[in-house]
Chains A and B, each alone.
Chain A
Amino acid sequence: MSHPIIHWRIGGAQGSGIDKAAQLFARACVHSGLAVLGQREYHSNIAGRHSYFDIALGVEPPTSVAEYPQLLVAMDGESLFRHLPMMRSGTTVIANRASLGLTLEKLPYLDAPLREKLRHDYGNELSVQKMIDSATGRGVTCLSVDIEGEQARIAEQLERPSKEVKRALNTLMVALGGALLGLGERALQTAMTKLFPRPEHRQLNAATISHAYRLAEAQNWPCGELAAPARAPARLLLDATQSVALGKLAAGLGLQSYYPISPATEESSFLERYPSVASREGEPFHPRIIQVEDEIAALSVAAGAALTGVRAATATSGPGLSLMAEGLGWAGMNELPLVITLYQRGGPSTGMPTRTEQGDLLFAIHAGHGEFPRLVMASASTEEAFYDAMEAFNYAERFDLPVIHLLDKMLTTSLASVLPFDSQRVPIERGRIASPAAGEARARPFQFTSDGLSPRLPLGQPGSAHWRTGVEHGESGLVTENPQIRERMMEKRAARLAMILDELPEEAMLRHYGEADAPLLLISWGSNLGAIQDAIARLEKGGHRARAVQIRILWPFPSTAVEKALAGAQSTVVVEANHSAQLASLLQSQTGHHPDHLVVKYSGRPICGDALAEALELIANGNGEARMVLKNPYE
């Protein structure tokens, strides 16, 4: 029997402890033996603007958060204005009683269009109370708590100033939600201890949690009971920036360079926290993590490091890749292994730095002038990101080219409970390394060979002195404009694209989900996979059978494998978080297949399983349009 997934959401102002609240809740769930998947939505702002955190929890690992959660914990009035309209029958809302009188006019950060929409939907002189009344009419349960009063009682009990107690508002709200769901108080207390190392904070938060549980009891809340496995395995609670960083360390990273950029910085910051990595043999590793002046330098520093034979990488977002285009071309021209981890965010230009989008697929494939080979791959989850980060270096070194590893903002805040990753699962493959002997003739970094790959020449090895250049060159690395050598070098570099498709196992290029004979085929890439898996399960409950193919290597495009997957599908749907359906155009140009439907989303918010399932159900029932756009009209 499959256990239900519970969807929890907390909303409040940035800087008011939303992140900590979600960490606390998620950790408590994991302590209880549950698996969690989180997702954070926030503005490009330090404090004050609205932020919310979704967490899905279950005995089985959830694959998607929900657009329509079962529990909304609102730390402030703005959260209610933004989220109440989306809450559906069966949802419970925990609100601060003091917020109920709040009117629309008193909210400084509510965007004008949303203000207008709320006025249009609910009428003028709109207050929180009015919206709650409307929600209650739809079957939403609202539990309003006299937060100020309760905090005053906590202050009195602890004999501490109420100003201090008010700071634990996030803990109080989490604990009230926890009590309602039936999350064990002990699990919450244990999680709290880890998050608050200072004794005076612990005392306050412990009392706050305890007070919340007693209050729920005293008020006879309809508290549930969370199903939990008897034995909980140890889990790591990570987002994809952390799992990529761990994957890079497992892969033997030698140097990572970076320039701070949302939402990629977290990966490099995480790496900086571990300057020493234990080795199975002898001395620990000390990878160099280097912050530089811009992304042009970031790529160039990584390229310089790669020239010495170490595994080198950089992590960035779309605006950074724009600056890296020239260096990417140099790496391609020099057949240099290099990994660029690209966390996509809403574009173009500065776009939406803290919102998600899959808008850089075609850019990653085409960035840079002229023609040179590169490999573009995409991970779908926090867990996949670890193993893919390891593979990225293998691909780069096996095929001597730059690898762009695509992720997105959604994955950077996909807080997932995962079993510790196995650093031995992906074997390390370093490609062919030259072993020149001292005293030999000048080494040839671009030597023509039968398979088109030249043994790699690290700088500084005996007998290895050589030239390299971004100018067209012969085998020795000296400049040439000879037409025959030019043709051979272009062919040599290009040939490795076919080699990749030939040598990599199909499993590395794409993965299948669902039953092989299901008539509806969903085609996607990257972070949408979790929502797609969730949607397939939801569709099944409605009697519709669907399957999915996740394309993991996007360039070179695995046309043969994709064509095989297309066979037998009655209807095909491409699902993407961008406007123009970039995978669909790639699919069409590489296989000639024109998908029957596109489901896209470009509001900067991630695709969720429940909303996707509704769109797909229309398609399955024959009522779907050729292009469908998933929206977030309120938030």
Chain B
Amino acid sequence: MHEQPILNAKDFQSPQAADWCAGCGDFGILKAIQQALAALGRPPEQVAVFGGIGCSGKTPYYLSSSGIHTLHGRVLPFALGAKLANPALSVIAVAGDGDGLSIGGAHFINAARRNIDITYILYNNGVYGLTKGQAAPTLHLGEQLHTMALPSDQAALNPLLLALASGYSWLGRGYAYEGKSLARLVEQALRHPGTAILEVLQPCPTYNRIQTREWYSETHPQSGEPRLYPLAEHGYDGLIPPDADTTTIQAKQAACFARLNEWGEHIPLGVFLEDLSRPAYPEDGGGNRAIADPAGKSLARLEGIYAQLQIP
């Protein structure tokens, strides 16, 4: 057994200069991923980060791990394919709200059904940034960004509620400007043995002047409570142990449902659900292995299958 060198966040930095706008929440997410990967301790070549299309999709270029810039909406199937074929890889998929929930909607709701061990980070800023300010599926009904001719006539999706219904076995939410707790959440998601989704509230300083950094930092005028609050400090525990019975599972899911419906004056952060009762997808298949001998002869033996099909 080789001793793994101790890694730090710097080992996951790439020489590429990130071309996000000044003050973009993406910088905080990038840093959190670098810190979490360092804490995980796997060398960069054993980590593959998949991005979709949009500002979030550029994340892979700013990491020293392998980085795959895929297609708009398709990041999850690409990431799942890689993990299925090489279970030894640590796989992260990153997507924006439009990327992941709108054009990638069918993949979003189907990706967790096998409970394959990948981490999905959803950047939520309510807006399509790279195409310059259209409503994303997380922008609420009636909200109007300055780039929009009219207020949104569509209601917002609730990403984590959708994820709960879709069977993601780990649900978390972080805030792009709370670096330390965000890095911890990314690490927890990475360590979870199943499909984890981490929503990150990520202000877009250029196109979203509603959910701004200031807005997220506000406190309630009467109670003085902050808008963003950590679930753990309110006695919430989303852990479903491996041997949990149906009643426990349902109770935990109901509590999770209630917290996921909070938005506006109070927005919870932290781990909503950690379901260890669902079996993780077996990792004994796949793998890049020899398929031919040195002379190029196939190693597969079909005689056993032929014997079942042969006449007489």
Contact = CB atoms under 8 A, between A and B. Distances in A.
B299 A257 contact: no
A59 B305 CA distance: 26
Interface stretch (A38-46, A158-166, A279-287): A279-287
Given A297-B110, A312-B81, A460-B45, A237 B298 contact: no
A304 B80 contact: yes
B44 A286 contact: no
Contact of B292 (A252, A461, A467): A252
Interface stretch (B64-72, B131-139, B168-176, B250-258): B64-72
B298 A459 contact: no
18 contacts: A30-B311, A232-B312, A280-B299, A286-B284, A293-B110, A297-B107, A300-B70, A300-B78, A308-B82, A308-B85, A310-B86, A330-B71, A424-B298, A427-B295, A427-B296, A460-B88, A464-B66, A468-B67
B220 interface: no
Given A236-B310, A281-B290, A467-B69, 6 more contacts: A297-B77, A304-B80, A307-B48, A312-B81, A327-B74, A479-B61
A273 B61 CA distance: 41
B14 to A, nearest CB: 8
Interface of B: 16, 44-46, 48, 50, 60-61, 64-71, 73-74, 76-86, 88-89, 106-107, 109-110, 284-293, 295-306, 309-312
Interface string A294-313: 10111011111111111110
A592 interface: no
Contact of B84 (A251, A281, A305, A470): A305
Contact of A190 (B69, B86, B293, B312): B312
A305 B91 CA distance: 12
Please give me the 4 A-B residue pairs with the lowest Cβ-Cβ distance, nearest first.
Answer: A304-B81, A252-B291, A300-B77, A305-B85
Contact of B286 (A255, A302, A303, A390): A255
A234 B80 CA distance: 42
Given A301-B77, A310-B86, A470-B71, A465 B300 contact: no
Interface string A389-414: 01000000000000000000000000
A297 B106 contact: yes
Nearest to B48: A459
Contact of A279 (B16, B45, B300): B300
Contact of B85 (A30, A288, A464, A477): A288
Contact of B81 (A255, A461, A465): A255
Interface stretch (A75-83, A216-224, A415-423, A623-631): A415-423
A466 B77 contact: no
Contacts of B287: 254, 310
Nearest to B69: A469
Nearest to B60: A467
B43 to A, nearest CB: 8
A250 B66 contact: no
Given A308-B89, A308-B288, A470-B69, A462 B45 contact: yes
A285 B299 CA distance: 9
A612 interface: no
Most-contacted residue by chain A among B50, B82, B83 (CB, 10 A)? B82
A294 B83 CA distance: 19
A330 B50 CA distance: 14
A279 B81 contact: no
Contacts of A249: 300, 302, 305
A249 B309 CA distance: 15
B312 A31 contact: yes
A236 B309 contact: yes
B290 to A, nearest CB: 8
A288 B61 contact: no
A309 B88 CA distance: 13
Interface string A219-244: 00000000000001011111000100
A286 B48 CA distance: 23
A285 B69 CA distance: 30
A281 B293 CA distance: 9
A393 to B, nearest CB: 9
B300 A250 contact: yes
B80 to A, nearest CB: 6
A458 interface: yes
B80 A301 contact: yes
B302 A246 contact: yes
Given A234-B311, A280-B293, A327 B71 contact: yes
Given A417-B311, A459-B66, A469-B69, A307 B82 contact: yes
B59 to A, nearest CB: 11
B167 to A, nearest CB: 13
A471 interface: yes
A277 interface: yes
A368 B52 CA distance: 19
B301 A277 contact: yes
A252 B299 contact: yes
Contact of A300 (B74, B292, B296, B300): B74
Contact of A278 (B50, B107, B301): B301
Most-contacted residue by chain A among B83, B89, B295, B312 (CB, 10 A)? B312
B68 A288 contact: no
Contacts of A327: 71, 74
A280 B297 CA distance: 10
Nearest to A237: B311
A67 B138 CA distance: 59
A465 B84 contact: no
A516 interface: no
A290 interface: yes
A463 interface: yes
Interface in A352-406: 390
A235 B312 CA distance: 7
B66 to A, nearest CB: 5
A363 to B, nearest CB: 20
Most-contacted residue by chain B among A250, A288, A461, A465 (CB, 10 A)? A465
Contacts of A298: 77
B70 A290 contact: no
Contacts of B286: 254-255, 286, 288, 305, 308, 310
Given A255-B81, A279-B301, A471-B69, A459 B86 contact: yes
A428 B71 contact: no
A469 B68 contact: yes
Most-contacted residue by chain A among B50, B285, B304 (CB, 10 A)? B285
B311 A304 contact: no
Given A254-B288, A255-B85, A288-B84, A428 B311 contact: no
A279 B50 CA distance: 33
A465 B81 CA distance: 18
Contacts of A281: 290, 293, 299
Most-contacted residue by chain B among A307, A424, A468 (CB, 10 A)? A307
A280 B309 contact: no
Contact of A280 (B73, B88, B301, B304): B301
A85 to B, nearest CB: 35
Contacts of A309: 86, 288
Most-contacted residue by chain B among A298, A417, A471 (CB, 10 A)? A471
